[in-house]
Amino acid sequence: MEIQAKKKFGQNFISDPTLIKKIVTLIPENKNSLIIEIGPGTGALTKLLVQKFDKVVAIEIDESLIPILHRDLNSENFKIINQDVLTIDFKSLIENEKQNPEQEVYLISNMPYYITSEILFRTFDVSDQIKKAIFMVQKEVATRLIAKESGNNYNNLSVAADFYADKKYEFTVLKNKFKPVPKVDSAIVSLTFWDKYKQELNGNDQEFISFVRKIFNNRRKTILNNLTNITNNKDLSKAILGQTKIAENLRPENISTNQYIQLFKNLKVQ
């Protein structure tokens, strides 16, 4: 019997075996790795992951899929958690499931589109515990994720992804590769996490990301106006921008990750 995708969970099941293999090969072939999959659905990706890696933990919200996954993936190295991913404590999950401190952790997901941003920002929060994430997202979201400053798609998500990871647009996935067929094409993006920028902020990275999100709240306004909304002092905002060597009339999308970091640091010392 064919399993019906549920619209309320944003389900679109992958139906192409070649595509599944192509996605899984983006994870380095280290059998000892811990793989965490968000939204396994009917287990199309999961089956190959269980064959290739020593431990696979899947998070699935849909109760009706749990018996199917247990039936089709009856393996000692597979564990399923029937829970909403937005209520998962990722830090504790990773700590509990790692078999040793050196074990590399990879996150993989055919993302439920309606909670893509929430999952991404929750992933960033535990990026120091994850080696790499492989995400299938709407193509539009992928272009925002990998966008650079002054591009049409550059936003707070672009900055956050750049801050936490070496980001890469891997390939486009046409909508006819899914059942049911969605309205738009998707794309695979990879995020290889680093601490390239985090060291500069001495543990204030979450406050920095919150700052960037506030700046982008009014992306049509100048950086001076947006910064003044935070400082409530236009003269102070002008002084901080001058110190950071950022022109007052630039828009949020014109400013690089490095510039945002310097802007935040200069704001913090006021």
Q: Which residues are annotated as a binding site for S-adenosyl-L-methionine?
A: 12, 14, 39, 60, 84, 110
Provide the percentage of residues in the chain whose pLDDT is more than 90. Answer: 67
Q: The tokens of 110 are what?
A: 């055919």
Q: Is 245 helix (H, G, I), strand (E, B) or coil?
A: coil
Q: What is the pLDDT of residue 203?
A: 81
Using a cut of 0.75, tell me whether the model's pTM lies above it: yes
CATH 3.40.50.150 maps onto the chain at 7-196
Q: What is the pLDDT of residue 2?
A: 44
Q: What is the pLDDT of residue 41?
A: 82
**Burial class, 205, CB count within 10 angstroms (exposed 0-12 / middle 13-18 / buried 19+):** buried
Give the type of residue at 46.
Answer: T
Q: Distance of alpha carbon 128 from its chain centroid, rounded?
A: 13
Mean pLDDT over 84-97 rounds to: 94
Mean pLDDT over 76-94 rounds to: 94
Q: Identify the CATH homologous superfamily for domain 200-268.
A: rRNA adenine dimethylase, C-terminal domain (1.10.8.100)
CATH 1.10.8.100 maps onto the chain at 200-268
Q: What is the pLDDT of residue 13?
A: 60
Please give the mean pLDDT across all residues of the chain.
90
Mean pLDDT over 232-249 rounds to: 96
Mean pLDDT over 59-63 rounds to: 89
Q: Which residues are annotated as a binding site?
A: 12, 14, 39, 60, 84, 110
Q: pLDDT, tens digit, for every residue of 124-183?
A: 999 999 999 999 999 999 999 999 999 889 999 999 999 999 999 999 988 877 667 768
Number of Cα atoms under 13 Å in the Cβ half of residue 218: 10
* Residues sharing a CB contact under 8 Å with residue 3, sequence separation 6 or more, in sequence order: 13, 42, 65, 68
- Classify domain 7-196 at the CATH class level: alpha beta
Q: pLDDT, tens digit, for every residue of 2-25?
A: 454 444 434 456 778 888 899 999
- Strand partners for 173: 186
CB-CB neighbours of 188 under 10 Å? 21
Q: pLDDT, tens digit, for every residue of 188-225?
A: 999 999 988 988 888 899 999 999 999 999 888 999 99
Give CA angle at 75 (70, 79), nearest 5°: 60
What's the order of all strands across the beta sheet hosting 165-173?
Answer: 78-81, 55-59, 34-38, 105-110, 132-138, 186-193, 165-173
Q: What is the pLDDT of residue 245?
A: 96
Q: What is the pLDDT of residue 8?
A: 41
Q: What is the pLDDT of residue 50?
A: 95
